[in-house]
Chain A
Amino acid sequence: MIRTIIIALIGIVCLGASAGAQSYGKAERRDPLFLRFPEMADRYWERSETSNASSKVVAIPMPKQCAFLYADAYTRGQMSPREVQETALSSCNRRLAELGPLGENYTIDCRCQVVLNNETYIVPRELLPDDAYGPVSIFYRDDRGNMARLSGVARYGALIGRDRSVTFTVENPRGDQVCNGTMTNEGPANGQFSLSCFGGKFGGRGSYESKTGAPNDHIIARGQTGRGQPVVMVIGLPAQLATNTYGAI
C-alpha cells in the first residue's frame, strides 16, 4: 500500500515537473530564432505541407552562441510526438558532427537540444539565441607571406540581408571581444564589410557573400587591410572546415 502511494506520488511529481519544463511561452514568426533561419521559418509557418503538421519540432545546438545550425522535423500523424523530437535531435547532432570539431572556436561544449515543440518554447527564453551567432575564422597574410589564422565566435544582427547595415563582433575562444565590424548589404546575399580588431591595430574591408546550402549556411567575406594585405573572414563554419575551404589566400 505504502509502495503504491509512493509510486503514485513520484508519478505526480514527475508529470508536474515535465509539464512545467515544457512551456516557456508561445513562439512567434518574428522571434529571433526564425529571423536567424528564414528557410526554417518558411517551413514552420508558411509552407502548408509542414506548417500544418500535427507535430513540428526545432532543435539547435546550445548554449545560444553555438546556434549556427538547426534541424526541424514535422509529422502529420505518421510519427509520435516523441519520434519527431528524436528525429530533430538526431538530425541536428548529425549535422553538427558532419561539420567537424568546434574546439578551435568554442571552449564550451555545444550540444543539440530541442527548443521548440508545436509552437511552444521548451527552454527558457533568456537561454535562446537573441541574435545570430556562429563560429568565425579570419585568415590574414602579411607582407612577408606569413599566415595568421584566428578562430572564435561571431555575433551579429539576425537580419543580415534585410537590414541595410548590420554590426558584428568577434570573440576569441576565451570570450574576449577582439573585433567589431559592419556588414552593409548591396543585394539579398552580398555587400560590403569592414572589420576592426584590437582597438584599430588590425582591420580590413572588402565584400561579403552569404552562401546557403551544403555544408552549412555561411558568410564568406574577402577584403584587404589598409596596407593591401588579404584578409578573409568566414562565419558559420567550424575552423577546420573554414580553413580547408577558404584558408588558401
Chain B
Amino acid sequence: MRRLALLAAFALLGPAAALAQSAGEVERCFQNPAACASGGGGAAPAPAHTPPPVATRQAPAPDYATVLNSSEADRRKIQESLRTLDKYNGPIDGNLQSEATVKAIADWQKGRGTAAVGKLTPPEAAQLNAEAARAPIRRIEPPAQTAAAQPSNADRLKALQARLAERRKAAEPKANAAAQALIADLKAYVSADGKGVAGDQFAAFAKWYADNKAAGRTFGAIAPVIDDYGDAKAGAATTTEVKFETKQGTNTYNQCLMFAWVEGSPRKNAQAFSCDDVAAVEKWKTDQTLKSAWR
C-alpha cells in the first residue's frame, strides 16, 4: 500500500518537474517569476508533503548505456552525423567505443561547451543528429576503396588557407592599384591646398583636411594599408586605412582615416571614417554586399 502511495506521488510530481523545464513554462516564469518561485508556475499545485525543489535534488547519473546499446543502424547514424560535422573520419561500423569515435564525440561535446566525456546521452545523440541534418554542406560519400585515403582536417585547413592566399594574391594587383590611385588623389588634394577629387568624393576627408589646416598643421607622408577588397553589388570595393603624418612646430602627429569606395570614375559610394570606427566600416561593407577576396 505504501509503495502504491509513493508511486502515485511520483506520478503527480513527474509532470510538474517536466513543466518547469518546458520552453513555454520557462518563458512564463521569466515574465512572472513570482508565480513560479513558489510552486511550479502553471503546474498543478504540489501536495503538502512536497519534496525539495528540482534544483536541490540529486541529479541522476547521465545515461550513456542507452546509446551504446542502441541498434546498429542508430550507432552508424551517429558516426555519419559526426562525419557530416567533420569530427570523424573513420569507418562507419557502428562501433561507438572505437578510439576515433570516442575522440570525435568528445570533440563535438567540447565544441558545445559541455564535458568532453566521449559518450552520448540520448538527448545528446538526438541533438548531434539534428545538428548534422542542419549542416548546410553535405559531404559526398567517397568510394569505399578510397575512404581510407581521405585527407585529414589539418590538411584540409592547409588547403583552405592556401586557396585563400591564392585568392588574395590574385586580388592584390587590383587592390594595390586602387589604393595607390587614392593616395595619388589625396596627395594632389594636399598639393593643391584643399582642391581636387579626393575632397569632392570623401567629404569627411575634406573636413579633416580643413580642420588640420586651420590648426596650423602641415602634411607629411601619406601611406595606405589595404583593409579589405572584393566584389560588391556596384563593382569592386576597397577599404583602405590611410596613415597621415601631420606636423605642427616640432610636434609630429600620426593620424589615420579609413577610406571606403567602389571603383569607378568618379568613385562610387565613397566614404571616409575614423580608423576607430570599425562598426561603421563593417556596416558600409555590409551595405555594399562586399564579398571579400582579401580576408
Chain A interface (Cβ < 8 Å from any Cβ of B): 43, 49, 75-79, 91, 94-95, 98, 138, 140-144, 146-150, 152, 172, 174, 176-178, 196-203, 206-207, 213-216, 221-230
Which of B29-37, B92-100, B174-182, B257-265 makes up part of the contact surface?
Answer: B29-37
Q: List 23 A-B contacts (CB under 8 A).
A: A49-B253, A78-B211, A78-B214, A95-B279, A148-B23, A148-B27, A150-B26, A152-B30, A172-B31, A174-B31, A176-B34, A178-B30, A196-B55, A199-B55, A200-B55, A201-B29, A201-B37, A201-B55, A214-B282, A215-B279, A222-B112, A228-B123, A230-B112
Instruction: Count residues of chain B with CB under 8 A from any CB of chain A.
Output: 44
Q: How many A-B residue pairs have CB under 8 A?
A: 125
CB pair A201–B113 under 8 Å, yes or no, is no
Residue B283 CB within 8 A of the other chain: yes
Residue B280 CB within 8 A of the other chain: yes
Chain B interface (Cβ < 8 Å from any Cβ of A): 20-24, 26-27, 29-31, 33-34, 36-37, 40-41, 53-56, 59, 62, 112-114, 121, 123-124, 127, 208, 211-212, 214-215, 253-255, 276-280, 282-283
CB pair A229–B21 under 8 Å, yes or no, is yes
Q: Known contacts A98-B283, A143-B123, A148-B23; is A49 also within 8 Å of B30 by CB? A: no
CB pair B30–A206 under 8 Å, yes or no, is no
A206 CA to B109 CA in the complex, in Å?
11
Would you give the shortest CB distance from A138 to chain B, in whole angstroms? 8
CB-based nearest A residue for B114 = A224
CB-based nearest A residue for B24 = A146
Would you give the shortest CB distance from B245 to chain A, in whole angstroms? 12
CB pair B113–A148 under 8 Å, yes or no, is no
Q: Known contacts A148-B23, A176-B34, A224-B114; is A202 also within 8 Å of B29 by CB? A: yes
CB pair A147–B54 under 8 Å, yes or no, is no
CB pair A140–B23 under 8 Å, yes or no, is yes
Contacts of B123 on A, CB cut-off 8 Å?
Answer: 143, 227-229
CB pair B29–A198 under 8 Å, yes or no, is yes
CB pair A144–B22 under 8 Å, yes or no, is yes
A104 CA to B2 CA in the complex, in Å?
50
Contacts of B41 on A, CB cut-off 8 Å?
Answer: 198, 201
CB pair A223–B215 under 8 Å, yes or no, is no
Contacts of A228 on B, CB cut-off 8 Å?
Answer: 62, 121, 123-124, 127
Question: Which one, B30, B34, B121, contacts A150 given CB within 8 A?
Answer: B30
